[in-house]
């Protein structure tokens, strides 16, 4: 039901297109809408001002044993495959009170029980990749109806936690992650 509601909201075009401002008054990285890697197109954004959306629920994977304090989050959705068949790519940006809370959000996400075992036999769950000249956590996960591999990238930039959930193509997923202006 939640995905149906999101689709309705996206189709009606009531999704506000705004940037987030961090606790210290600095602007959070913008969610990219244009100049996307080939094959990706912007679908819409949700944030705290989106009607009928509870951002705490949307960001639940970042809450856990480590306190992340007050947060301001936005999630952008991208189409990269056949709509209704392939899963969406997503970029989540969470502004926290300070860098310690952003690191806590990253750690909570990484420590989810679903990530305890590898996605497939012989495939490591975690690795390291380079995005914008910095080392980031690469997460490999099952995705889609055919249970293919999905590449995601997780890191913090100061008080901001960033998650890019790409597709099954590592190069394209890294290119999407590289669209985040740091």
Residue of 81 and 164 predicted with greater confidence: 164
pLDDT band at 28 (very low <50, low <70, confident <90, very high): low
CA distance 180 to 164: 9
Six-digit token pair at 39? 């094959």
pLDDT: which is higher, 4 or 179: 179
% residues pLDDT > 70 (the chain) = 82
Instruction: Check pLDDT > 70 for residue 1.
Output: no
pLDDT, average across residues 154-178: 96
* pLDDT interval class at 84 (50, 70, 90): confident
Rounded to an integer, the average pLDDT of 39-44 is 94
pLDDT at residue 11 greater than cutoff 80: no
Cα separation of 96 and 26, whole Å?
12
From the number of C-beta atoms within 10 Å of its C-beta (0-12, 13-18, 19+), residue 34 rates as exposed
| Cβ partners under 8 Å of residue 133, min gap 6 | none
pTM of the model: 0.84
Which range is least confidently modeled, 51-60, 77-86, 93-102, 162-171? Answer: 77-86
Q: What is the mean pLDDT of residues 105-129?
A: 95
Show Cβ contacts of residue 41 under 8 Å, excluding neighbours closer than 6 positions: 78, 79, 80
37 has a pLDDT exceeding 80 = yes
Instruction: Encode pLDDT of 147-157 as tens digits.
Output: 789 999 999 99
Q: Using the predicted structure, report yes or no on whether residue 114 has a pLDDT greater than 60.
A: yes
pLDDT of residue 5: 38
Place of tokens 């055919």: 146
Q: What is the mean pLDDT of the chain?
A: 85
Q: Give every CB contact of residue 105 below 8 A, 6+ residues apart in sequence.
A: 62, 66, 68, 71, 94, 96, 156, 161
């Amino acid at each position: 039901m939640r995905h149906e509601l999101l689709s309705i909201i996206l189709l009606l075009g009531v999704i506000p297109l705004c940037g987030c401002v961090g606790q210290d008054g600095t602007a959070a990285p913008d969610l990219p809408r244009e100049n996307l890697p080939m094959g990706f197109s912007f679908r819409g954004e949700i944030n705290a001002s989106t009607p009928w959306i509870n951002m705490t629920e949307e960001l639940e994977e970042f809450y856990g044993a480590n306190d992340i304090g007050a947060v301001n989050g936005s999630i952008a959705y991208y189409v990269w495959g056949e709509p209704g068949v392939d899963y969406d790519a997503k970029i989540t940006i969470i502004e926290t009170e300070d860098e310690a809370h952003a690191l806590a959000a990253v750690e909570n996400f990484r420590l989810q029980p679903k990530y305890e075992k590898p996605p497939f036999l012989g495939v490591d769950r975690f690795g390291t990749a380079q995005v914008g000249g910095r080392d980031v956590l690469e997460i490999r996960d099952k995705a889609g109806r055919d249970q293919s591999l999905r590449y995601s990238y997780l890191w913090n930039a100061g008080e901001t936690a960033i998650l890019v959930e790409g597709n099954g193509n590592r190069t394209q997923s890294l290119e999407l992650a590289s669209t985040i202006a740091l």
